[in-house]
A and B are shown apart, each in its own frame.
Chain A
């Protein structure tokens, strides 16, 4: 009998694994801005998980995880099929999956609480399985967990603040997939001896994202609890408060978790979007207060740089918030909270973005999530409980659009206020079909 181990396919594949450069599992789909370490869903997303802020007097008033059916073949397409309240209001903000996609971690900026859901047993009905309530104590004072970013066997939680002075001085925190605390990395400050750009270092944080093939991580910077829990109208009128916004990005050696360089990027750089292409060593970010698009890139000499590459909107700015880069790195969607417009840029030349389309999505606009094939985008409205607009401008929605390469066209619209759900924030894809 021929030995199984003699099978040519086994041996040739083994050789490939040992010798050849590995290639990514490109056949799998997902949301384009998810962690590169995340197990990907296969094909069309089936569910949209919406981390939603509770509103006093609206429904039960609690923060909740809302599940929307987004499978076009389903009889409940475009409707809410499940919701689970976590109890109380925690300033629901961002979330993320563990690398095996079995758990969805949701962070509360206000209470520094992490809610961990099982999304593997029944992806249509996530089940709360654990709550981390001692985050500030366990992490040595980090506060305002911003989200969760999948790493192998653990999650990286970039924070916005600290439990002492509530400024933007903060840290990156790591937890194991089992919910156990691992370590805290405080953001670099001006005292960081020998660090290039240390003179700009403010110690602030916001997003954290990794480019594995270059072993680099980028972080951005926003503001602390003193500002993000305070009404926006008060903050902008307070000169001292306006001084307490981040103006830096930090490039880290990811494996050692040591900062390598600090870039001066004025005006609160927020979301970081790495390009996916194998020869694209760059990432975009947008600055909320100065309405600029920035590019962080490795130059021809192997040095990492940051440069402003575009202005968003006209004078006064649009308060750019979330953005989404297409999987082929050609198209960047940038949401403006101020004018509720999504601007679409051709970024085939990342140093010279060219706006090709814009669409008014609503009276206020924050998050955007895009499918891997670039054909479907989902938008949500809420920024922060005390920063959202008031009166008729305080629309609260999840809206799905199609993208054909030229324009955005509506697919479905969910009014989260009418449904008495709350303020929808981060949206993540779910599916019953998950590769590993």
Chain B
């Protein structure tokens, strides 16, 4: 029963939460910028890598970082640090929910949650994790990915500057891995345009950035 109540709470919070624009809080105590009033410089090209989807099928990371505007989060499912993976997944869930009500956003956006713990986060485990979040009609696609091995993962972590270390205490209550929080914004051409950490992971900022890239795309289309 407890499980069902908690699951219900999760579903409730991730499907009926406030609109992103209403999420001003003590930690994010400012007006969100107006999309299109600022620019997002290219940081560097998003790198490729070998992934597995939730069915265990091989996928190229490059196929998930072009064609749409991508918000990609590095996570591991055993993480229970409040300001780390749960928060990152929560922000992606907010974007997912927003896209369900916005056809233009849904058509432009892709979400990716990529595990950096392949030894524990098997495709089956990622499938179970994804079931909590990704069942929304008309929403943007949300891909939950892992890798076959640490060897496949290592070059991806290096290319995306994702620090992951084992904690001295593997029984640490927030999970066994130290890691920086990395959520990346990648444009349709596969260029990284922003990187968010725990202090800047405000869903309003991420959405404003996504919409800025959408407007950039529309502007380029008009020019051509």
B89 x A14 contact (CB < 8 A): yes
By the criterion CB–CB under 8 Å, are B14 and A18 in contact?
yes
Min CB distance B199 to A, Å, is 4
Within the complex, the shortest CB–CB distance from B160 to chain A, in Å, comes to 9
Question: Could you say which of B26-34, B102-110, B141-149 contacts chain A?
Answer: B26-34
Interface residue? A300 (CB, 8 A):
no
Determine whether the beta carbon of A436 is less than 8 Å from that of B90: no
CB-CB nearest in chain B for A278: B26
A153 close to B (CB within 8 Å): yes
Asked if residues A36 and B199 are in contact (CB atoms below 8 Å), the reply is: yes
Within 8 Å of chain A (Cβ to Cβ): is B154?
no
| Band of interface residues on A | 35 or more
User: In residues 79-95 of chain B, which contact A (Cβ within 8 Å)?
Assistant: 80-90, 93-94
Q: B29, B83, B161, B200: which contacts A25 (Cβ < 8 A)?
A: B83
Q: Return the chain A residue nearest B86 by Cβ.
A: A17
Question: Measured between C-beta atoms, what is the minimum distance from B61 to chain A in Å?
Answer: 17
Name which of A14, A253, A434 has the most chain B CB atoms within 10 A of its CB.
Answer: A14
Q: How big is chain B's contact interface, by range?
A: 35 or more
Does B163 sit at the interface, judged by CB under 8 A? yes
Contact between A152 and B43, CB atoms less than 8 A apart: no
Check if B218 is an interface residue, CB within 8 A of chain A: no
**For residues 233 through 271 of chain A, which have their beta carbon under 8 Å from a beta carbon of chain B?**
253, 255-258
A212 touches B200 (CB 8 A): yes
* Residue in contact with B90 in the complex, picked from A14, A37, A100, A255, CB distance below 8 Å: A14
Asked if A436 meets B128 with Cβ closer than 8 Å, knowing A21-B27, A22-B198, A37-B197, the reply is no
Among A14, A15, A153, the residue within 8 A (CB) of B197 is: A153
Kindly state whether residue A176 has any CB partner on chain B within 8 Å: yes
Taking CB atoms, residues of chain B closer than 8 Å to A10 are 80
Shortest CB distance A155–B (Å): 12
Chain A hits for B132, CB < 8 A: 5, 14
Pair A178/B44 contact, Cβ less than 8 Å? yes
Complex Cα–Cα for A397 and B42 (A): 43
The answer, among B17, B125, B161, for a CB contact under 8 Å with A4, is B125
Establish whether residues B10 and A182, one from each chain, have CB atoms under 8 Å apart when the complex forms: no
Using Cβ atoms and an 8 Å threshold, which residues of chain A touch B26? 21, 213, 278
Besides A9-B80, A18-B17, 7 other CB < 8 A contacts? Answer: A5-B128, A12-B6, A18-B13, A18-B89, A18-B94, A154-B195, A213-B199
Can you name 5 A-B residue pairings with CB atoms under 8 Å?
A13-B80, A13-B82, A18-B14, A178-B44, A180-B43
Name A residues whose Cβ lies closer than 8 Å to a Cβ of B. 3-6, 8-25, 36-37, 39, 99-100, 102, 151-154, 174, 176-178, 180, 182-183, 212-216, 253, 255-258, 278, 434-436
**B: which residues have CB within 8 A of A?**
2-3, 6-7, 9-10, 13-14, 17, 25-30, 33, 37-38, 41-44, 77, 80-90, 93-94, 125, 128-129, 132, 161, 163, 165, 178-182, 184, 195-200, 205, 208
